[in-house]
Amino acid sequence: MKIVVQEKPGCLSVVMPAYNERDTIAEIIRRVLARPEVGELVIVEDGSSDGTWDVLEALRDSDPRLRLFRQEKNMGKGAALIRGFSEATLPFVIVQDADFEYDPEDYPEVLAPLLAGKADAVYGSRFMSTPGQVRYFRHEMGNKFLTFWSNFFSDIHLSDMETCYKAFRREVIQNLILVSERFGIEVELTAKLAHARCLRIWEVPISYAPRRYDAGKKITWKDGFAALFHILRFNVFFNAKKAFRRPWEEVTGGDKK
């Protein structure tokens, strides 16, 4: 079901972790800031060693929506996202990688359920029959394997748990207590959203252009094994007191069933 809603310019905080992305960072910033929905772009540079921070510094004054933060040593994607989520100020928040795998032109589709008041979180799925570049078979099967076990333990039915494009109402993402410093953040986010048991989680199809490993793709089979550990950690051993800052009725106004 396609939701058509009126555009709301400047309503979106984009959180972008960046680690050794010197060759792509300037162009992806341009593409993100070209979107009318974007009110701020929060970039957390995660201790890069390739000059990414120098590129960002040169762009600092190019657009008032650009907000830059730096972690002096590499702490991981999760740590960068946690910092970025805490800095977001606008009604809606989306995650954007600093390469070209995910296209900011898909923001309207991802935002639509949020703008329509139908969702609290939206996942942009790469596996919902959208046209695009042929993908790596083993990588896709690995994603589906992890999504299956995440679904099994969290009891929600996603097609793409590991997707980058996750969008939220700001008060929802800022109510989660997140601790994963690396790629386990994807599992942790999903588990804690699911175990809230009162949030409306949607999926919408998005485009996807897979990055080659020789072009800098960073996730490996080791991260897949770590994800299995995190699926158990954040689902089987879930503890609401360590997952949420406030009771959800205070966040949602008690109107989510």
pLDDT of residue 219: 66
The domains located in the chain, with CATH, are 12-249 (3.90.550.10)
Look up tokens 């990688």; give the residue: 97
pLDDT of residue 252: 86
Q: Give me the mean pLDDT over the 165-187 stretch.
A: 96
When pLDDT is cut at 50, 70 and 90, the band that residue 183 belongs to is: confident
Residue range 58-85, pLDDT digits in tens: 999 999 999 999 999 999 999 999 999 9
pLDDT of residue 224: 75
92-95 and 12-18 beta bridge pairing = parallel
Residue bearing the bigger pLDDT, 160 or 128: 160
Residue range 103-129, pLDDT digits in tens: 999 999 999 999 999 999 999 999 886
Residue range 193-235, pLDDT digits in tens: 999 999 999 999 999 998 665 555 556 667 778 889 999 999 9
When pLDDT is cut at 50, 70 and 90, the band that residue 133 belongs to is: low
* Coil/strand/helix, residue 131: coil
When pLDDT is cut at 50, 70 and 90, the band that residue 37 belongs to is: very high
pLDDT of residue 222: 74
pLDDT of residue 101: 95
Q: How many CB atoms lie within 10 A of CB 146?
A: 21
Beta bridge mates, 201: 121
Percent of the chain predicted with pLDDT > 90: 79
pTM summary value: 0.90
139-146, long-range: CB < 8 A, 24+ apart: 139/210, 142/221, 142/224, 145/224, 146/187, 146/224, 146/227, 146/228, 146/231
Q: How far apart are CA 119 and CA 104, in angstroms?
A: 20
Write out the two tokens for 42. Answer: 């929060």
Mean pLDDT, the chain, integer: 91
